[in-house]
Structure 1
Amino acid sequence: MSAKSSSPAQAGHDLDVLEELGRARVVPVVVVDDETQGLGVAKALSDGGLPVAEVTFRTAGARAAIAAIAAEHPDLLLGAGTVVTPQQVDEAVAAGAKYLVSPGTSASVVRAAQAAGIPILPGVASASDIMAALDLGVTTVKLFPAGVVGGPAAIKALSAPFGQVRFVPTGGVSAANLPEYLGLPSVLAVGGSWMVEKKLVVAGDFAEITRRTAEAVSIAARPEGA
């Protein structure tokens, strides 16, 4: 965040969170219906070597799930996704989210996050979206839906005029194309749901979630081009 919208201390906190995301390299995008599912997924991710999650605000039980995970897994880098209103910003922060993700760039949502002292990754799909994010002091954004708007080729093209921007592509990312995204210098991390497919969550197949998570961690750890 820029100095005009946050204090130096807050800017440092935001950078710390973003650095943690950068070290993780992969951000599981999780959809759960309640606390039980949320806790099961959190444990499965940790068991797979990836203590990070973005729990989306797509279900009525999302806030309760975030609160339960935050209480039982305080070391997990827990974010709230699909945050589209200032009210959801407040709810996510109160529940214990450490960062926020939005599918688009809304000035009111970004400013609410900045006022609450929590980093946010607004969604972008074009150069105009990126410029809007930069106007709000944000330099790390979510490219969404990445697969639809051009994938790695789009990131390469957008990185030319916006060299200061880091991307977290989400949407259409899989184990197969993960290396291509992570090989781009402007990609901080990638977001994906293939590790935590909703059918696995509903079935309680946390062993498979752990297996897919471990696979993703292994792929992300490989040298570029391997």
Structure 2
Amino acid sequence: MLTAKAAAVRAREICDLAPIVPVLVVDDVAHAAPLAEALVAGGLPALEVTLRTPAALDVIAAMAQVSGGVVGAGTLVTPDDVKAAKEAGAQFGVSPGATEALIAACEAEDLPLLPGAATASEAMGLYERGYDMLKFFPAEASGGAPALKAIGAPLPQISFCPTGGVSMGNADSYLSLPNVVCAGGSWVAPKDLVRAGDWAGIEALAKEAAALAR
């Protein structure tokens, strides 16, 4: 059984892999492997596949076979989500918020979790539980980089991966903060390029994102 401390350490290791974690909504499992290969080749090995489509679990299973990738499941909400994600091959989980049941399920399934928090109280509660690497969500709607900077002043021991409204245009404002390890973004895999199978275009976007300073 994974401890909270071990989960937090592994989550931080994954977040340290690159400045951007692609947040992926994939409808067609046929796109899974070439999409993952393009992103990994572009320097973004940590991939978050959101459980928002019927194909999501099959996509995770396919991406888990791609060399160099570290595939996680996003939008974990229930213990059943956790079990299904782990069985599909997810190596980490991401949640929009956090509940005791969800955290307990991740620990029982040995699935490192990046739990979501949007306020100082939520962050403090997760820190008490042993989690010091969190997802700041929804980032832009919760005040953006200024809000996260303000949270970091009294809570410097907690680090974040902001997600939700993060783009190439504002990623620098987050990555420059001392309490930000990486950021999650969907712009590196736009739906039109995925549908067109433009893997070279996606690799180019990944390289641009991987070059962001932090």
Normalising by structure 1, report the TM-score. 0.88
CA drift of 1:11 comes to 4.2
Out of 135-144 and 56-65, give the one that drifted further: 135-144
Structure-2 residue corresponding to 1:86: 79
Question: CA 1:212/1:76 → structure 2, altered by over 3 Å: closer, same or farther?
Answer: same
Alignment match, 1:50 = 44
Q: Does 1:165 align with 2:155?
A: no
Structure 1 partner of 2:17? 23
Question: Shift of residue 21 of structure 1?
Answer: 1.8
Deviation at 1:62, TM superposition (A): 0.4
Q: CA deviation at 1:74?
A: 4.3
Which structure carries more helix by proportion?
Answer: 1
Deviation >6 Å, runs of 4+: none
SS in 2 for 1:175: coil
Flag structure 2 segments of 5+ consecutive residues without an equivalent.
Answer: none
Structure 2 residue 26 is the aligned partner of structure 1 residue 32: yes
Deviation at 1:157, TM superposition (A): 0.8
- Name the structure 1 match of 2:195: 202
Q: Alpha-carbon deviations, 1:69-116, whole Å to 9, x = none? A: 112x14311111011110010111111111100111222111110111
**Equivalent residue, structure 2, for 1:76:** 69
What secondary structure sits across from 1:23 in the alignment? coil
Structure 1 residues 118 and 53: CA distance shift in structure 2, 3 A: same
Partner of 2:139: 146
User: Post-superposition shift, 1:137?
Assistant: 2.0
Q: Please report the TM-score for the alignment, with normalisation by the length of structure 2.
A: 0.92
- Mark the CA change 1:135 to 1:12 in structure 2 (over 3 Å): closer, same or farther: closer
Question: Does structure 2 conserve the Cα–Cα contact (< 8 Å) formed by 1:14 and 1:118?
Answer: no
Determine what percentage of the aligned residue pairs are the same residue: 43
Residue 63 of structure 1: aligned partner: 57
Q: How far is 1:132 from its partner? A: 2.8
SS at match of 1:147: coil
CA shift, 1:6, in A, is 4.3
